[in-house]
Amino acid sequence: MRQVLLIDFGSTYTKLTAVNLDAPGVLAHAQTRTTADSDLSIGLNEGLALLEAQAGPFRFEARLACSSAAGGLNMVASGLVPNLTAKAAKLAAFGAGAKVIRTYAYQLTREDAEEIAGIRPDILLLTGGTDGGNSEVIIHNARRVSGIPSNFPVIVAGNRSAREKCADILMKSTHPVFCADNVMPEMNRLVIEPVQRVIRQVFLERIISAKGLSETQALLDGILMPTPSAVLEGLKLLAGGSNKHAGIGDLVAVDLGGATTDVYSIADGFPTGANTVLRGLIEPRVKRTVEGDIGMRFGARGVLEAAGSEAFTRLTGLPEEAVTRVIAGYSARPEALPANEEEEKVDFALAVLAIRTALGRHAGTLEKVYTPVGPMYQQTGKDLSGARRLVVTGGALIYAGNLKDIVREALMRADPLVLTPRDAIISCDRGYILSAMGLLSGYDQDAALELLLGAFGKEEENAAC
């Protein structure tokens, strides 16, 4: 029997999944603590013992891992215009599985440089200008960054006319320099795959060892990618299928965490209405965003701020004072589980409003314009209102009770001008299939797809929810 081990070193938990490739199926799944502060292999060995106890002994022909341990992949993005190259840079970094700590537009100031020095990103992405367009700002910014006394790698992916100059400037600094194609070679056209490949390469070659995660390599065939990239790979395969098998088509996924919430969409999202024109940046078919202020525990206060206390009192039936008190408690104790009815109600509302807020920020919007021939709509971003499938995943799901009720409520009272899914089939992943299959997809795509379709392929909501 051909066996492969898939590992996700999460920030808190390490998840192990043993799969059989001959008759594709999951043999065993185990979860242990992540031991990034000492040596990852301690937690890994504990997990292996748990796996063995379930269905061992195993003889793995490959051990593939993804990681968001030791803080994940932290990036800073810089571009020219906020809505254009700065946004393109941010989308590219998110899509490569990074946390984007901060995005800068226009010229970097001395204060910006000091702030970046304080952030100490794993990678800084420098963009700006269409090809043949503005080169002044990116060159100025390359100079600024070259003066930051640190050795984080810099990826230059802006106006190609300025590339050499930027590389020359940075080469003389303490920063390793990498170049990639422009993220926006012409107005509104995004080209993010090339820079994402470079981010991946830098992650593999430098970040893993810089974080002290490489000692584990003896036990592994490598940490191949950041965990969010693995999830994205899994979703891409599930949506698009392979040469042999069709996928399930366009989909949206939400990963609800304690501190942050990630949203993924695999869909073109072009306008569907006859009177609707698309404005601005054409967003990538494979898109990921991260809401750094939206989550079930650390991020609870952010949900309250974004959704407003009225939404909470309406959903919970509790007075505002109770809502605020429970949320303050949750923000302070990230591991807390709801202990009474009041807390359960707030948890429900938190999950609903976190999902609604995060989906709303990820999805495109419509603006009504009154013209002499009647109303027209301008669409910015992606129209996901027709998405047929919504996959919900994430560690925070364990808190939140009946998932289907939560998601349905989240989709229901959506703003009509915000193009979130309206009526999707809800599926859920209790936290490992997507990332595991994303890892496996680069090794045995057919087996990965078969397992994904087994978990999510049915035209009904899956049992795990």
Residues of this chain that bind ligand B12 (CB under 6 A)? 371-373
Least distance (Å) between residue 280 CB and ligand B12: 19
Q: How far is CA 250 from CA 237, 240, 267, 285, in A?
A: 11, 8, 5, 9
Toward other proteins, which CB reaches closer, 335 or 370? 370
Tokens 């939400």 sit on residue = 254
Task: Tell me the C-alpha distance between 155 and 177, whole Å.
Answer: 6
Q: 356, 232, 246: which is closest to 287 by C-alpha?
A: 232
Toward ligand B12, which CB reaches closer, 339 or 373? 373
Toward ligand B12, which CB reaches closer, 41 or 276? 276
371 touching other proteins, by CB under 8 A: yes
Binding other proteins by CB under 8 A: which of 16, 44, 84, 239? 84
216 touching other proteins, by CB under 8 A: no
Toward other proteins, which CB reaches closer, 159 or 229? 159
Please provide residue 435's backbone torsions phi and psi, each rounded to the nearest 5 degrees.
Answer: -70, -40
Handedness of CA 426, 427, 431, 435 (dihedral sign): negative
DSSP 390-408: EEEE-GGGGGSS-HHHHHH
The SS3 assignment for 229 reads helix
Least distance (Å) between residue 372 CB and ligand B12: 3
Toward ligand B12, which CB reaches closer, 149 or 374? 374
Least distance (Å) between residue 194 CB and other proteins: 18
134 touching other proteins, by CB under 8 A: yes
Cβ(426)–Cβ(403) below 8 Å: yes
Q: 384, 405, 147, 373: which is closest to 252 by C-alpha?
A: 384
Toward ligand B12, which CB reaches closer, 340 or 371? 371
Which token pair is 103?
A: 């995005």
80 touching other proteins, by CB under 8 A: yes
Toward ligand B12, which CB reaches closer, 305 or 367? 367
Toward other proteins, which CB reaches closer, 61 or 186? 186
Binding other proteins by CB under 8 A: which of 110, 149, 218, 370? 370
Q: Which residues pair with 6 in a beta bridge?
A: 17, 64
Going by C-beta distance under 8 Å and a sequence separation of 6 or more, which residues neighbour residue 343?
326
Pattern 179-198, other proteins, x by CB under 8 A: -----x-xx-----------
Least distance (Å) between residue 157 CB and other proteins: 14
Least distance (Å) between residue 116 CB and other proteins: 22
State the burial class of residue 80 (Cβ atoms within 10 Å of its Cβ: 0-12, 13-18, 19+).
buried
Residues 257-286 that bind other proteins (CB under 8 A): 277, 279-280
Partner from other proteins, ligand B12, none contacting 352, C-beta within 5 to 8 A by type:
none
Binding other proteins by CB under 8 A: which of 62, 204, 376, 465? 376
State the burial class of residue 218 (Cβ atoms within 10 Å of its Cβ: 0-12, 13-18, 19+).
exposed
Least distance (Å) between residue 75 CB and other proteins: 21
Residues in contact with other proteins, total (CB under 8 A)? 27
372 touching other proteins, by CB under 8 A: yes
140 touching other proteins, by CB under 8 A: no
Q: Is 70 left (phi over 0), alpha (psi -120 to 50) or beta?
A: left
Partner from other proteins, ligand B12, none contacting 378, C-beta within 5 to 8 A by type:
other proteins
Least distance (Å) between residue 287 CB and ligand B12: 30
Number of residues that make up the chain: 465
- Relative to beta strand 25-33, strand 13-20 is antiparallel
Task: Tell me the C-alpha distance between 175 and 170, whole Å.
Answer: 6
Q: How many CA atoms within 13 Å lie on the side-chain side of 174?
A: 8
Which token pair is 286?
A: 């494979």
Cβ(27)–Cβ(18) below 8 Å: yes
Toward other proteins, which CB reaches closer, 192 or 303? 192
Choose the stretch contacting other proteins; rule: CB under 8 A; options: 78-86, 173-181, 231-239, 315-323.
Answer: 78-86
Least distance (Å) between residue 455 CB and ligand B12: 47
Which residues of the chain form contacts with other proteins (CB under 8 A)? Answer: 80-81, 83-85, 128-130, 132-136, 161, 184, 186-187, 277, 279-280, 369-373, 376, 378
